[in-house]
Amino acid sequence: MSDEPLIATATTLNTIRPELLTMTFGQMAALSPWIWALGGALSMMLAAVLFKTWKWVVPALMIMATAGAAWSSTMLMDLGDQFLFNRMMLVDRFTLVFTVLFAISALVTTLSSMKYLDREGLQHPEYYILMLFSMIGMMNMVSALDLVVIFVALELMSISVYVLVGFRRADRRSNEAAVKYFVLGGAASAVFLYGSALLYGATGSINIQEILAAVEAGRAGGSLLFVLGAALVIFGFLFKVASFPFHMWMPDVYEGAPAPITGFMTTGIKAASFATFVRVMAGLGYGDGLAEAVQKHLHDILWISAALTMVIGNVIALTQVNLKRMLAYSSIAHTGYLLVGILVGPASDSGYGPIYLYLLAYTVMNLGAFAVLSALAKRGDSGINLHDMAGLSKRQPLMAFGMAVFLFSMAGIPPTAGFAAKYLLFYSAVQAGEIWITVIAVLCSAISVYYYLRVLVYMYMREPAEAGGSAGRSWMASAAVLAMIVLTLQIGVLPSRVIETAKSISKTAVPQIGQAGARAAR
């Protein structure tokens, strides 16, 4: 009898590694946010088929799934690092904190959407299901330590949003926005994937930990193949975050998408992209481990992109009268500020912590602003131009006050979350010795005050162009706006706890990649 089958079986078992087929209690607990989200998505699909009253059942399940994911993530903060699926994913405080952020984004968008979808005649269960799948993609992105897993998660997040952007199927602008986003997003994904392939060729791995280990060991950090791969991966992320020169898709897509989905995109997608960007940059050895020439090139790319993104976003926003387009260019400018955080992260005492604080503040104030626009919008997203805001303080005092708070926060005026976030970010840039980029950022913030406060002038100092009642109010949208007002002011007045959380996830998430990579190399 031949021993070949036994040898083949032993080789197969050695390849599969049987210990990977079992999970510890900690690993199973770490998956609970995903269980909430996936369970909610499956329940929503079943409810859409089985219940005639799905109009209330599906959104209720969506709220339960997002709230459950946020709650379970909060409960797991002290669990410790849990590596999953052969170290392709890592659930740590970094992952869990951003999961809470994604869940808040999806929850507030759901509350903002109910009345809006009724008004537009778009109340379909697919809307909520796609949003939840997009949130799952964000969760997978921020937990991924493998470039292929990041790509798959990126596509799950993006494809769901492509459909949501074009959800107003009878609207030409919505269709155009969806096609434009799909084509350009597909090109950016291809660039990212090709860069990943080059990194694999340079380092022999697609795992972020092992790539960093190869860079620290001096095996790949200075090779041409590595430099090209790193550049393409960075360019892919720069498109997703809408940085110069990959920003031109954003205003058209934001204007064409339904108002609540615009808010979901500008918060959830941006937070997921930047969180993953931080992990990938750490994996590439940015700031520690790269050859000096490569480090300088990456630094210069980020410096130029950040400066031009801030300037272009703020200057073009000055000319906008449609509030969705104005907030789109504002979002481009905020991308520039966040790129400053990545630029200076390795050289400052706060590390990448200011990025989390800024993303939290940005998420809260933008969700609130788009919740207001969703409540004010008329059919086809008309009625949200600058002149339509005239006299809003008399017609809808809560919405006007909320918009005022959110715009003050975007401008970085105390005592709001935006001020605390910008202060910590600019202080970190000064600590890192990046004085000129800090000067540009401060000047751009000063420019932004004009177009933010111009909206307040119309709301509080202009009489309405025409008399008449406001659109029907939704208590859910009002509750979402009120909650975002409270959070915006709370973070601004008492930022210490959030700042400590931001610094803690910066210290625990990024260095552990390097430590794990060193262990993997040994």
Tens digit of pLDDT per residue, the chain (522 long)? 445 544 444 444 455 565 566 778 888 888 999 999 999 999 999 988 888 777 788 889 999 999 999 999 999 888 888 888 888 888 888 889 999 999 999 999 999 888 888 888 888 889 999 999 999 999 999 999 889 999 999 999 999 999 999 888 888 888 888 888 888 888 888 999 999 999 888 888 888 888 877 777 766 656 788 888 888 998 888 888 888 888 888 888 888 888 899 999 889 899 999 999 888 887 777 766 666 777 788 888 889 999 999 999 999 999 888 888 899 899 999 999 999 988 887 788 777 888 889 999 999 999 999 999 888 888 777 778 888 888 888 888 888 899 999 999 998 888 899 899 999 899 989 988 889 999 999 999 999 999 999 999 888 888 776 644 445 567 788 888 999 999 999 998 888 888 888 877 776 554 444 444 433 333
Residue 519 lies in a domain: no
Residue 269 tokens, joined: 């997608």
Residue at 414: amino acid letter: P
Domain for residue 6, yes or no? Answer: no
Give the number of C-alpha atoms closer than 13 A to the C-alpha of residue 12, restricted to the C-beta side: 6
Stretch (H or E) spanning 83: strand 82-84
Total tally of structural domains belonging to the chain? 1
Does 486 map to a domain? yes
pTM, to two decimals:
0.88
What secondary structure letter does DSSP report for 207? B
User: Cα(298)–Cα(96) distance, rounded to whole angstroms?
Assistant: 29
Residue 142 is assigned to a structural domain of this protein = yes
Is 512 part of a structural domain of the chain?
no
How many other CB atoms sit within 10 Å of the CB of residue 376?
23
Q: Is the dihedral of CA 227, 196, 308, 358 positive or negative?
A: negative
- pLDDT, position 290: 65
| Selection from 340, 279, 278 nearest residue 308 by Cα | 340
518 lies in some domain: no
CB 130 within 8 A of CB 32: no
Predicted local confidence at residue 227, as pLDDT = 83
Q: Domain range holding 299?
A: 31-505
How many residues does this entry show for the chain? 522
Taking the C-alpha atoms of residue 329 and residue 434, their distance in angstroms, rounded to an integer, is 24
H helical segments located in 17-53: 25-30, 32-50
Look at residue 472 in the predicted model and tell me its pLDDT.
52
Q: Which amino acid is at 389?
A: M
What residues contact 24, with CB distance under 8 A and at least 6 apart?
none
**pLDDT score of 254:** 87
